[in-house]
A = this chain, B = another copy of it.
Amino acid sequence: MSERVGWIGTGVMGAPMARHLLDGGYQVEVFNRTRARAEELVQAGARWREGPRELAADADVICLMLGFPDDVRTILLGDGGVLQAMKPGSLLIDFTTSVPTLAAEIDEAARARDVEALDAPVSGGDVGARNASLVIMVGGSEAAFGRAQPLFSKLGRTVTRLGEAGSGQHTKMMNQVAIASGMIGLCEALLYAHRAGLDVEQAIETIKGGAAGSWSLSNYAPRVLRGDLEPGFKIDHFIKDLGIALSEARRMNLSLPGTALAEQLYVAARSQGLGQKGTHALAVALAQLSNERWPAR
């Protein structure tokens, strides 16, 4: 428990995750591009460091939770990157949802410096981060996974190693692919029901126990109906994830027509000013497609 953890990225996901480690007895040092977002952690006992390299030099474990794969690449790799500053024998955990092939590249660069690396994207959103109920999808060696287990246990409910480096990212992509078309189905169903003049809430109650049932139908449909479009998970971030999924699929010569349609519809939603709203705001964009101002909000 006396491992020193360096945490880079204290946004809406990273801050509560780092806080759980602090509360769990870890020494935590933090860096974030915008210092103000780390202030609450510092008040709670985390040590602020002026740059990622300063933080890396002393840490036994470095954790990243950033926005985009390019941020991860810039901070970790190349001259002046974190990896060069890390101690031999230390462990790098990237919680960012990112590119599977980048995870493999990081793993290789880490091995060359006697550092262990894990890709560990999560699902569960900010609520999961706050409640330490995240699903954590891990890629990397068995040994590194074993070493990280006590730390993961402070953050997540379901923690699974799926295989070698990149496997965590691939599993996250699989998750997003399933969600994307599922959300189209959900939003089109609600819109159909509304346009057909049904009592949409009653119709949802009727079908949700059957083959149309899903986590999204139970959790997001009621929010759509009352016009609550707050995230959940933001459309801007979902477009990033779907871009990664489609790019990886293209690399694997894999055609995913449903995911491609979903990505385009989410681009339309962003174009309608919904980028900072939750993924279920797709319902609004689909309604606008048919000139329907719905739901009331």
Contact = CB atoms under 8 A, between A and B. Distances in A.
A258 B255 contact: no
A177 B206 contact: no
A215 B216 contact: no
Interface string A154-170: 00011010110001001
Contact of A261 (B163, B198, B245, B258): B258
Contacts of A171: 193, 198, 203, 206-207
Contacts of A202: 160, 162
A75 interface: no
A230 to B, nearest CB: 15
Counting contact residues on chain A (CB < 8 A from B), the size range is 35 or more
Interface in A270-297: 286, 289-292
A185 B233 CA distance: 18
A213 interface: yes
Contact of A210 (B162, B175, B212): B175
A192 interface: yes
Interface in A225-258: 233, 245, 248-249, 252-258
Given A137-B206, A181-B181, A214-B215, A174 B196 contact: yes
A120 to B, nearest CB: 12
A57 to B, nearest CB: 34
19 contacts: A100-B196, A123-B210, A124-B210, A135-B210, A162-B198, A162-B202, A170-B193, A170-B198, A174-B207, A178-B189, A184-B185, A192-B254, A192-B256, A195-B252, A195-B254, A213-B214, A257-B261, A257-B286, A258-B258
Interface of A: 100, 123-125, 135, 137, 157-158, 160, 162-163, 167, 170-171, 173-175, 177-182, 184-186, 188-193, 195-199, 202-203, 205-207, 209-217, 219, 233, 245, 248-249, 252-259, 261-262, 265, 286, 289-292
